[in-house]
Amino acid sequence: MRFPWPCWLVLLVGALSLPALAECPGGSSERVAAELNALERRLATWDEAYYRRGESLVSDDIYDQARARLALWRRCQGLAPPDPPAAYPAGSLAHPVPQTGLAKLADRPAVARWLSRRDDVWVQPKIDGVAVTLVYERGDLVRAISRGDGVSGQDWTQRVRRLPAVPQRLPEPHDAVLQGELYWHLSDHRQAEVGDAGARGRVSGLMARETLDEDEADRIGLFVWDWPDGPVSMARRLAGLARLGFVDTRERSLPVAGMAEVARYREALFHEPQPFATDGVVLRQASRPLGAAWRAEPPAWAVAWKHPAREALAEVRGVVFQVGRTGQITPVLQLYPVTLEGRTIRRVSLGSLARWQAHDIRPGDHVVIALAGLTIPQLQGVAWQAEQRQSLVAPDPVDYHSLSCLRLAPGCEGQFLARLAWLSGPEALGLSGVGPGTWRALIRAGAVSDLLDWMRLDASDLKAAHGIGPVRAAELLAAFSAVRNRPFPRWLQALGAPPGVETALPSNWAELAARSADEWVREPGIGPERAAALVDFFTHYEVEALAVRLGEWGIDGFPR
C-alpha cells in the first residue's frame, strides 16, 4: 500500500530504475509549467481518493512512477522537490504504536546492499490489502484501527468484530498490539498472470461500508505482520503469534541468508498459486526497537522489494491511423520508449477508431500500458491529458470500406499496401519471399499502382526499386510466375472477395458475378449481410476490370 510523506520520498532514491521514467520535458517554459501543474493536479486527485475514500484510482506502479516523474520534472526546472501528499483527515483514533510504512528498494542491487549490512533477516509476503492495528486487553479485542496516516486512523472495531479471521479473544490473557493486513481471499491466485485482481479495492470498499454480510466477512482474511511489543527474538515472536492463533505469520515468515533466497521467495509469490494478492516481499531485521520508539515513517530495519511492475506510465509521442485491407481504421499510439517486464515498448494499438475517440488521446498525453499474456502491449487507460492539446485529424470512416483503395490514390497508401500484403500472404497467393517491404519498395519506385501491376513487371522494372538487385529481381520474377497456376478460389481471395466463395462453388467468374443476393443467401453459412457484400464485390467496376485482366493473362476461371 502507499504511505504518506516522507515514505514515498525514499522511493526517489531508486527512481531512475522505474520502468517509465521520462527525460526532462521539452518546449517553452509556459508549456512545461502547464504540464507540471497538470501532473500535480492528477496526483492530488489520486491522493484525495485514496486517503479520503480508500479508493485506489491507479495501481501503485503508476502512482510511484508519476511521483518519480514529478520529482524529475521539477529537478529539470531547478525547482524544489515536490510537496508531500496533502494531509487528509486520517481518523480520530490514535494508534498505540505508529504504523511505520516501508521504504521500497528499487532493484536487486539495492536489495543486496541492504542485506549486506544486516544479519538475522526474515522475509514475509507483502500482501496487497488494507493495514489494520488490533488492540487486545487481557486477551479481548477492544479496538481495531485503520492505518490512516500511521499516527491515527478510523475506528473499525465494529466492522472487524464481524470478521471470522480476526480473533475476538486470544487464547492467552495478553495485552497486545498487533499490526497486520486485511486481505481478500482468492483461489489459486497467480500474481504474474492477473495482477491484484482488484483484491485490495474489495476489502477497502467493504471496510468503508456500514454493513457487512456473512459471505463478504468470510472472504476477508488477516495476516499479522508484526507484534511491536512482542518478544525481542524474531523466532520467539513468531512462536508467540502462533500460540495466539496467528499461525500464518510463522509459516510465511522465513529466515534468509542472502540474495538468492530472497529472490526465490519473491519469485514463488509472483508465479505460484497463492490465497491472496501480493505486491512484493517485506524484509525484516529480527532486532528492532520496541514499539515506543516507532514513528510513522519508514524504518531502517524493514524494507519492501516489490514485484516487477505490471504497468508502465508512457508519454504519447504521436498517433498514427492505420487503414487495414478491409478499410478498418486502427489508431496506433507512438510512445516514448518504456521498459516493462524486460521489453521495450514504443507503440500500442487501440484496436478501433471508436476507442481512440472515447479516450481522445493526443501527443503529450500520459497513458497506462500493460502486457497482455506477458507479450502484447495494451492500453489500460489515460493517466492524464496534456494541458496543451494538439489537433489531430482522423481518417473519415466513410472513405474506407471493403472496396476502397483497390488502386493507389491519395489517402489510400495504407489500405492499398495492406491489400498487397494480403494478396501475397498464405491466405491468398502465397508469394514466396514477398511481403510489405517488397511492396513498399515497388510502390515507391512507381512500379505498382493497382493490385495486378506486379504481373507485368520485367527485370528492369524490378531493379529500379530501392534494394532490389539482379539476384533479387530474378527471385521475384520466378515467384510472380509460379503463382499463375494458383486455383481460382485463391485468386478470388487475392482480390479481396468476402468469405463465402471459397467452398463448393463454381470456379467461374461469370457464374458468380451473375448471382443475386437471394441466390447467395441459399448457400450454407451466408446470410443477408454477406450476400449483399458478395454482390457488391462481383459488380464493382474496378473488381470487374481486374477480373478481365486476369482472364486476358490466361488465369483459370476468369473471363477471356
Residues classed as catalytic: 126
Is the separation of the CB atoms in 135 and 96 below 8 Å?
A: yes
SS3 194: helix
Specify the residue for cell string 486487553. Answer: 137
Q: What is the DSSP string of 356-404?
A: HHHHT--TT-EEEEEEETTTEEEEEEEEE--SSPPP--PPPGGG-STTS
Residues 6+ apart with CB under 8 A from 391: none
Residues 6+ apart with CB under 8 A from 133: 95, 96, 97, 99, 143, 144, 145, 147, 153, 177, 178, 179
Give the Å distances, CA to CA, from 187 to 15, 20, 121, 274, 405. 34, 32, 30, 7, 52
* H or E segment and range at residue 266: helix 259-271
Q: What is the DSSP string of 232-264?
A: SSHHHHHHHHHHTT-HHHHHH-EEE-SHHHHHH
Specify the residue for cell string 525547482. Answer: 79
Distance CA 524, CA 515 (A): 15
Question: β-strand 103-105 against 302-306: which pairing, if any?
Answer: parallel
Is the separation of the CB atoms in 138 and 152 below 8 Å?
A: no
Question: β-strand 311-323 against 329-340: which pairing, if any?
Answer: antiparallel
Q: How far is CA 46 from the centre of its chain?
A: 19
